[in-house]
Structure 1
């Protein structure tokens, strides 16, 4: 069988966070209680980066357009960023006068919770030159909040001939807006998880919000919804260590297979495999192995 073409370069845009990841919690904390974690790690995070790192591990060229941390957080994340295989030339360092973007992630089995501080713009100034360079085939937007903040991403990507995917990423304020329909409909692929899909009413709607809408269901696999059909794919059970970034890893597997023009069910299966890989390691995208075998399996 001929290997699929992985020359189409991906540009992933969105905020980069410094993730403080607490793992092995006996239970999730509640008000008035203190819970002690069995492990702590400091890793680069955010959907744009995690998806990009998995795309790179699958063997597809990818660049990140993001605001890189400054000060002590830069040194804490630098080794992982450089080892990811993601090109950072479209990213810029965050001004020192802005708060660092930090996420505290707490994981207890399949349960997870996040506390995040956003600061500064989601899209770096270098994005315009990157997307207009002709070097990219596809734009991935790491969270719906990024598109709400910079809706012109769509026009810029379309003008450059790029296809577009969009992750949802939970944000109460964003999900409560009444102007999301037009933004979501303008992308090619929308990738919410099951909780986000329920909040947006996707599973009960007569038509999907985007031409291709993927609902990520964790251990229950994934579903693809178009105007013509609904396709599902189960996933194999694995031992969960940390579920941080699993949905973003799924995005990478799905997008890579979709760009390789594989059938929809195989795209779902490719996403499921990457999501399973993510939950078996600490951190969203650190110390990833060569995942080209997963890409080859998607084509089988």
Structure 2
């Protein structure tokens, strides 16, 4: 492996979910009522995998460090996982005794809601040894909750010479913590959406909570904030079919362009394009 190969390869870490995606809802469910969906898809999900799969589609060499599904969901998901182009050799099978990790995603127009069950660790055993192999140039952490659970990810990546990006992903318990500033500030790129940024008190102007903070604003585009100021980019409107994983697809486009050394505006445009493409079809990738 040449140095260029090493610094072009990304490893994404975080939980892998079985996404049960209900689409074409006439309205979002409310207590005491039943709503019937027009469509249902079963897809592999989770920020780490969706970002990895979209990077692979862009031609970026990428590996996934996660717990692979076991039991009945393995049959439903493994074909899509293997067809994604993502290197799965850095992942490990989930123990059979663990409950499956499932996300129920509901999409009605531009509205969406999620119900998720987590089980087991976010980071597979042996991940420190994986980073130490020297195969990788960049680490993407799929959820802030993963970094809260495993804060050693940052020093391990730094010791191996990697740059680091971090998605936020909504989690009430995590976002309510008072120790997030140091964790977020320890990465190179932090990628919350607008709702998450508002919850964390992140403004669209300096100073950013991480050296480079990118706020994903959906149909309004995106903005990148650094100590030098703010740069924004608009997105072309598209018909929204399913917004599941759109932010993770944005991450793939932005990080791929950033690793290629492109200007921030071009990075935002690349992220916007991937996010817009993702919402035109069912599933995050």
TM bucket normalised to smaller? over 0.9
Contact 2:222-2:268 within 8 A present in 1 as well: yes
2:238 is aligned with 1:221: no
Contact 1:169-1:192 within 8 A present in 2 as well: yes
For residues 143 and 174 of structure 2, the distance between their equivalents in structure 1, rounded to whole angstroms, comes to 10
For residues 109 and 146 of structure 2, the distance between their equivalents in structure 1, rounded to whole angstroms, comes to 29
Q: Secondary structure at the match of 1:280?
A: coil
Deviation at 1:124, TM superposition (A): 0.1
Deviation at 1:110, TM superposition (A): 1.0
Contact 1:6-1:60 within 8 A present in 2 as well: no
Aligned to 2:29: 29
TM-score between both structures, scaled by the size of structure 2:
0.97
Aligned to 1:146: 146
Contact 1:65-1:126 within 8 A present in 2 as well: no
For residues 191 and 146 of structure 1, the distance between their equivalents in structure 2, rounded to whole angstroms, comes to 14
Q: Secondary structure at the match of 1:157?
A: helix
Aligned to 2:207: 207
What is the 5 A alignment of 1:114-129? 114-129=114-129
Aligned to 1:191: 191
Q: Secondary structure at the match of 1:36?
A: coil
Deviation at 1:198, TM superposition (A): 0.2
Deviation at 1:130, TM superposition (A): 1.5
For residues 6 and 55 of structure 1, the distance between their equivalents in structure 2, rounded to whole angstroms, comes to 15
RMSD value over aligned CA atoms? 1.4
2:174 is aligned with 1:174: yes
Alignment deviations for residues 220-277 of structure 1 (CA, whole Å, 9 cap, x no partner): 0000001111000000000110000000000000000000000000000000000011
Deviation at 1:126, TM superposition (A): 3.1
Aligned residues: 282
Q: Secondary structure at the match of 1:11?
A: strand
Q: Secondary structure at the match of 2:125?
A: coil
Runs (5+) with no aligned partner, structure 1: 286-300
1:85–1:157 CA distance, 2 compared to 1 (3 A): same
